[in-house]
A and B are shown apart, each in its own frame.
Chain A
């Protein structure tokens, strides 16, 4: 297991780290911009407090994401979904509704499928998280990913990572024993394009294929 050190802003990936530092540097330059509307001056001024505030507002959290241990610092109000997408550039996990009503944000926490939009990252201290980016073994797609391609289990692709994470869990949970059971246990993942029949076929193939899921 690798361990990556992250800076206190919670970034672990080098390019993004630089991004963030640039941002902090440039934010002070902002105040010099004459063309910006007056509100920006005030907001920029308020930013002076930010560095102080951040110390109090952010808390440390250690997560193992896709087999990489990450020491992060997050505001308690930041959801796992926003942490993944904004801070860690793991944008494969999707924000569809942000209220636990669509399943696009489904990830595995300690092997269990959950809605990452209804999970504060800080609450997961010490847990293992798998996202769609962590499902394939290198270039080798997970059987479920392959089955989704073969059976056209998606159209626009936006709900797809959530569907696939949910589908893998559905098989592992032992809830893929019949078409009806798959439909029921996959109903927490909405697909507005209507790929449901193909999603069911993909899951059945994986379930019946006997591969390790």
Chain B
């Protein structure tokens, strides 16, 4: 039975052939009849007003169809409706494209040039002359901390005594900073929009959430949701940056309205830096205290993040601090600095990534003060239940991560003294860090269709931006139904399919996977009911086997192929829809994924260059759904962690309020040569509560704490503590 597939098997990705042959179609690649191209013109000031827009030359350019700005843009009914923050995922007034003459940030889109080729649209865009009335702006977070506000949607947290770390015998009090980081998926943000009449629009879209696109676009253009179709089977990476509706979507839809043609709008790389979110800067004051034996007695975490003037973007920056370690006294605050920049957006491990840099660096500093092994300090303060709310963990194999990771890494060979290991001109350092990330499950719906030819189709609107969700849902369905994997097809990435939440927050497997699992369970029940054999109909579930494309009794006395059941009932197909409503049992539990990262770095003694030499990433993500794609997810987080630790930094010239390194030659992300051997250790033990597959999430957990593990290794190598990312040669030379 070579085609039998189980959950966990390293099945090749179901869409792999399309991806390696270049036939997978991304949002800019449909080449629809009459399709035209839109290029956005962006502001050159950070704050002020548009005084005038001169589009004459642009309109005269060859191939130009239309130049759209706030002066002539098609009306967006939703822009004029009153602000309803109840439903909005970010508090405040969303950015309204071509709404008025106000400039809120540099590179704000102010016009759209549409022409019959990209080159012509691009040239026309360069001919649009905009005059501004600038106003004083502020993009410098560090100089504006005193102006920080308490976010409307974030509460301060405390347990025990606030500031207790100050009375601890051993304490660390430091400030840690992380810079702007930009998602930079390889596919720039893009939408191709097509109207059918005045009340129906299709968007071929780069989105992590077809249902959010559908809903938001329907709201903006006052359409019924069924008249908005977001079609996004292939998305060239997103990492959080395609979890909202952005200017390129609105521009394409407006452009298509104005021209009566399909319009594609692809952001240029510099626009990707300024229009579709980024990880906000953080400044974090962190205090941690312990008794002489290393027992934590108090933690204070005061975090500052940045946001725009029009929205309050909040992230989970203090979450790891609250849950990671057993500590009786803890107080955490989070404040926002409003800047004249676009609104940040969820970025892989949003909040936890920056917050854990502070927490896990401080733990390392504390370990040195205690003269204690950093791993031992963490083991000692293991939290038997979630200290944030005293709930038991739904599962927690963090200690197994510590043990397995340390063993594989050879942590015991580490000399404790900083600057004690060397290989020629290179200083060697070893560091580690722990990570914790929420494991939750949301509502999702799946539809299953079994055909008389024995094939199974399972559908959900969920996106697959790269993690391999489509593959594991195929796998879950094939495994649950006992149907050959070749006969199982999963369809995704289309808002006309049953509801799925966005593919973010590491909750896709638990949410949509549960719906897939449950719809298969329902389908099996239907098959049992429809089976003509009395023995099968009457059997208890536990006495039945659903294997080899057939129902059978475990005692072997009866066996009916699914196809026979459909034929006997004269059903061309059998369709079941199932809604999976999260999991109420989880209210009593705290659901988290855990990890322990072990990193070896080489730091050049003279030049200060840092190279990550070796990584062991040990992860508790519940039951693994696909060994192959799971490993790839860990690789992804590790590569992100290397980028964040060593090179990624959005640099702004505050005099102009403008990014100066907004492309991939000046904002570095890791290349192949930066990435060493990565050993992945997956604990692979099912979570008994969260979902029927036993899966937690794994798209983000290995990233949490990773940058601190690198910084800790750099300290071990050099004796220099870097508290401001990234760790570039200039900080070490």
Contacts and interface: CB of A to CB of B under 8 A. Distances in A.
Direct touch of chains A and B (CB < 8 A) = yes
Interface of A: 16, 18-19, 22-23, 26-27, 30, 33, 36-40, 42-44, 46-47, 49-50, 53-54, 57, 75, 77-79, 82, 85-86, 89-102, 104, 131-133, 135-136, 141, 145, 148-150, 152, 154-161, 164, 182-184, 186-200
A156 B33 contact: no
Contacts of B187: 94, 96, 156, 158
Contacts of B188: 95-97
A212 to B, nearest CB: 18
Contacts of B608: none
Nearest to B73: A37
Contact of B21 (A19, A141, A158, A189): A141
Contacts of B59: 39, 42-43, 46
A49 to B, nearest CB: 7
Contact of B632 (A46, A132, A157, A198): A198
Interface string B14-39: 01111111111110110101110100
Interface stretch (B292-300, B326-334, B665-673): B665-673
Given A156-B238, A190-B664, 10 more contacts: A22-B33, A27-B65, A43-B67, A77-B119, A98-B268, A133-B21, A152-B628, A156-B466, A193-B639, A197-B677
B631 A158 contact: no
Contacts of A101: 269, 663-665
B637 A187 contact: no
B185 interface: yes
Interface in B465-505: 465-468
B636 A46 contact: no
A36 B185 contact: no
Interface stretch (B41-49, B134-142, B229-237, B683-691): B229-237
B675 A194 contact: yes
Contacts of A16: 31
Contacts of A164: 20
B186 A102 contact: yes
B118 A189 contact: no
A65 B675 CA distance: 34
B678 to A, nearest CB: 6
A46 B21 contact: no
B288 interface: no
Contacts of B67: 39, 43
Contacts, number: 247
B418 to A, nearest CB: 28
Given A19-B33, A43-B65, A149-B12, A158 B268 contact: no
B186 A37 contact: no
Given A30-B259, A46-B59, A197 B20 contact: no
Interface in B676-718: 677-678
Contact of B186 (A131, A152, A156): A156
A131 B22 contact: yes
B630 to A, nearest CB: 10
Given A94-B187, A141-B17, A198-B632, A99 B664 contact: yes
B444 interface: no
A192 B644 CA distance: 12
Contacts of A194: 632, 635-640, 670, 675
A51 to B, nearest CB: 10
A166 to B, nearest CB: 10
Interface in B623-681: 628-629, 631-632, 635-640, 663-665, 669-673, 675, 677-678
A40 B66 contact: yes
B669 A192 contact: yes
Among all A-B residue pairs, the 4 with the closest Cβ atoms: A92-B22, A158-B236, A194-B639, A157-B19
- Chain B interface main SS type: loop
A195 B632 contact: yes
30 contacts: A19-B31, A30-B259, A39-B67, A40-B258, A43-B65, A46-B59, A77-B119, A77-B123, A79-B119, A86-B31, A86-B37, A94-B26, A97-B663, A97-B664, A132-B20, A149-B20, A150-B12, A155-B467, A156-B238, A156-B466, A183-B672, A186-B672, A187-B671, A187-B673, A189-B671, A190-B669, A191-B639, A194-B632, A196-B672, A197-B678
Contact of A49 (B29, B62, B635): B62
Given A36-B258, A75-B119, A198-B632, A54 B237 contact: no
Contacts of A46: 59-62, 64
Contact of B629 (A98, A152, A159, A186): A152
Contacts of A22: 33-34
Contacts of A102: 186, 664
Nearest to B32: A19
B664 A152 contact: no
B117 interface: yes
Contact of B237 (A53, A161, A192): A192
A135 B673 CA distance: 26
Interface in B61-96: 61-68, 72, 74
A141 B16 CA distance: 12
B144 to A, nearest CB: 31
B285 interface: no
Interface in B93-126: 116-120, 123
Given A92-B22, A197-B677, A57 B62 contact: yes
Nearest to A24: B116
Contacts of B671: 187-190, 196
B62 A50 contact: yes
A21 B123 CA distance: 23
B186 A190 contact: yes
Nearest to A89: B31
A199 B665 contact: no
A122 to B, nearest CB: 12
B117 A154 contact: no
Contacts of B664: 96-97, 99, 101-102, 190
Contacts of A196: 635, 639, 670-672, 675
B184 interface: yes
A213 to B, nearest CB: 15
Nearest to B69: A39
Interface centre among A49, A98, A158 (most CB of B within 10 A): A158
Contacts of B33: 18-19, 22-23
A55 B35 CA distance: 22
